[in-house]
Amino acid sequence: MAKFDVIFIGSGPGGYVGAIRCAQLGLKTAVIEKDETFGGTCLNVGCIPSKALLESSEFYHLAGHDAAAHGVKISKLEFDLTSMLSRKEKIVKDFTNGISFLFKKNKIESYKGTGKILNPGLVQVTAANGTKTELEATSIICATGSVPIQLPFLKFDEKQIVSSTGALALTKVPNELIVVGGGVIGLELGSVWQRLGAKVTVLEYADRICPMMDYQTINILKKSLEKQGMKFITKAKVTGSEIKAPKVELTYEDLESQTIKKLSGDVVLVSTGRKPFSDNLGLEELGVKKDPRGVVLVDQHFQTNIPGIYAIGDLIPGPMLAHKAEEEGVALAEQLAGQAGHINYATVPSVIYTFPEVASVGLSEEQAKEKEIPFAVGTFPFIANGRAKALGTTEGQVKIITDTRSDKIIGGHIVGPRASELLGEIVIAMEFGGSSEDLARSFHAHPTLNEVVREAALAVDKRARQM
Ligand code: FAD
Ligand code: NAD
């Protein structure tokens, strides 16, 4: 029987990055993956294909709406959805093949099949043809990720009632797309299809979209998306659906007026969150503790209540994000190799790749209030920035939140052009325990969008210069 120091079950960002770090540290490592390709949700049906379609559709939208302002004339503008989808598929394939290459390069053994933990130290792999192989390992790491939540009255057929996976592969632009759930997936994939011509209506249960994010920041995004044509119905509890070919009719309760309403569309995207996936992994038989939502509970070393069995990524508490899964894989690998890997959960960035983008780290204003932290806020708009003007994208602002007792940055929220890239500066400042003064005193090349970050840092102390 093959014997390893570490076996990862699941090859998403948690599993594949963790396995590479284990191998780099000299641990004999194997990865088990049930799907045909490596890379998990992120590479196959998540981060990468969604960003590919967001870029293509934004390209089309900008060509149609903004090129003329730059003096660029396009006489006949059209898009070819088949090419857009093939481009997305090629990007996915390049990355998933890249993981196979990285496994070979790092001498990581890979097994295709479903992994099940029979006992601490013993894993069974069942291949697609039914062949079973047993493997031994000192440490077994569950990195089996998450799957979309399915509502009982909206079963996915991935054609008309779709999860994110179906929404990434529609072969025709729907005339009317209804999005159930105004979170990250709803806004990103709703944007893709809206830019390509669909009328998009978002039904959100809460009183606002993206309820966990900084209110002022999300409100700026909401207004911008409304200007682009997206409709939002909040306080809407969807209770039923009926196929009335070729349409789907949804029934929802308007929680404000307490009346029942109907809405029809060609396609319904259900994006009401994801749930941890640990079916057939053997955890129940072994008595591994989970919370009522199926989240696997671990200690600060990612170990479950059963010694030798660990879990990382979407399977455990915390935001379901690829970079969080990756960092957990790395920290655990380093701990298993006797090093001091650790994660600072206060600085996990999160991004919504809409136009404009939203990027956040740390506490929102609402969370700072709730925690009774004395705080100061500095904001600065992109409209006053030379680079943003040159780009022709001046919507949005940067907001920096500091603890007034120390000036230490406790939150950063950007809505605007390239927010995802700009946030990095605030994340690093927070990681180093930095203050708004530190950001304000650091050189920022001119003219760059980053100058808005510095101005927001200056605004904390009411000394922004350019407004
Ligand atoms: P996963 O990536 O889900 O990988 C788990 C793997 O385990 C899968 O390959 C699965 O097949 C395998 N597996 C499960 N059970 C078994 C078993 N018993 N045996 C063998 N293999 C098994 N995050 C971001 O940070 N940025 C983004 O832009 C972003 N965009 C997203 C867009 C969409 C549409 C979606 C759905 C998600 C997005 N995410 C994004 C979230 C991100 O994809 C996840 O947080 C991340 O993939 C979690 O990594 P993981 O390693 O925990 O699990
Ligand atoms: P989400 O948690 O971001 O949003 C779900 C939304 O649906 C919430 O606003 C919630 O209030 C609402 N909701 C829940 N039940 C509802 C119901 N019955 N009717 C109407 N609304 C309802 O979840 P998601 O958008 O499905 O994304 C899942 C996960 O994938 C997230 O945790 C996210 O971190 C990850 N993801 C990240 C990115 C990114 O980083 N850019 C992109 C896509 C997905």
Alpha helices in 278-409 (DSSP H): 283-286, 322-336, 365-370, 386-391
Distance (Å, whole) CA 203 – CA 217:
20
Interval between CA 444 and ligand 1 midpoint (Å): 36
Mean pLDDT of the chain: 97
Q: Reply yes or no on whether the pLDDT at 91 is more than 80.
A: yes
Q: Reply yes or no on whether the pLDDT at 467 is more than 80.
A: no
The H or E element spanning position 378 is strand 375-381
The token duo for 184 is: 């990250």
CB of 238 closer than 6 A to ligand 2? yes
Interval between CA 79 and ligand 1 midpoint (Å): 30
Q: Reply yes or no on whether the pLDDT at 466 is more than 80.
A: no
CB of 205 closer than 6 A to ligand 2? yes
Shortest-distance atom of ligand 1 to CA 281: 18
Q: Listing from the earlier edge strand, what are the strands of the sheet with 199-203?
A: 161-162, 267-270, 176-180, 199-203, 231-233
Interval between CA 242 and ligand 1 midpoint (Å): 31
Nearest alpha carbon, ligand 2 atom 28: 273
Query: Given this model, what pLDDT does residue 99 score?
Result: 98
Average of pLDDT values for 179-202?
98
pTM: 0.98
Interval between CA 185 and ligand 2 midpoint (Å): 6
Shortest-distance atom of ligand 2 to CA 184: 25
Shortest-distance atom of ligand 1 to CA 167: 34
CB of 233 closer than 6 A to ligand 2? no
Band of residue 394 on the pLDDT scale cut at 50, 70, 90: very high
The token duo for 330 is: 């790395």
Residue 342: count of CB within 10 angstroms of its CB: 12
CA distances for 102 relative to 15, 19, 344, angstroms: 13, 10, 27
Average of pLDDT values for 219-232?
98
- Ligand located closest to 187 CA: 2
Render pLDDT for 13-36 as a digit per residue (tens, 0 to 9).
999 999 999 999 999 999 999 999
Going by C-alpha positions, the residue among 122, 112, 130 that lies closest to residue 286 is: 122
Distance (Å, whole) CA 168 – CA 146:
17
444 catalytic per annotation: no
CB of 318 closer than 6 A to ligand 2? no
Average of pLDDT values for 290-316?
98
Query: Given this model, what pLDDT does residue 371 score?
Result: 98
Going by C-alpha positions, the residue among 248, 282, 292 that lies closest to residue 267 is: 248
Catalytic residue among 70, 301, 342, 446: 446
- Ligand located closest to 270 CA: 2
Mutating to test ligand 1, I would choose from 8, 11, 42, 158 the residue with most ligand atoms within 8 A of its C-beta, which is 42
Interval between CA 144 and ligand 1 midpoint (Å): 8
Query: Given this model, what pLDDT does residue 342 score?
Result: 94
Nearest alpha carbon, ligand 2 atom 43: 185
* Domains along the sequence of the chain with CATH: 2-148+275-343 (3.50.50.60), 161-272 (3.50.50.60), 347-460 (3.30.390.30)
Distance (Å, whole) CA 106 – CA 198:
45
Task: Provide DSSP, 403-461.
Answer: ETTT-BEEEEEEEETTHHHHHHHHHHHHHTT-BHHHHHHS---SS-THHHHHHHHHHHT
Interval between CA 29 and ligand 1 midpoint (Å): 20
Distance (Å, whole) CA 78 – CA 462:
48
Nearest alpha carbon, ligand 2 atom 24: 273
Average of pLDDT values for 152-180?
97
Render pLDDT for 100-150 as a digit per residue (tens, 0 to 9).
999 999 999 999 999 999 999 999 999 999 999 999 999 999 999 999 999
Average of pLDDT values for 360-364?
98
Query: Given this model, what pLDDT does residue 465 score?
Result: 86
Nearest alpha carbon, ligand 2 atom 17: 205
CB of 185 closer than 6 A to ligand 2? yes
Interval between CA 45 and ligand 1 midpoint (Å): 8
Mutating to test ligand 2, I would choose from 48, 184, 320 the residue with most ligand atoms within 8 A of its C-beta, which is 184
Average of pLDDT values for 365-369?
97
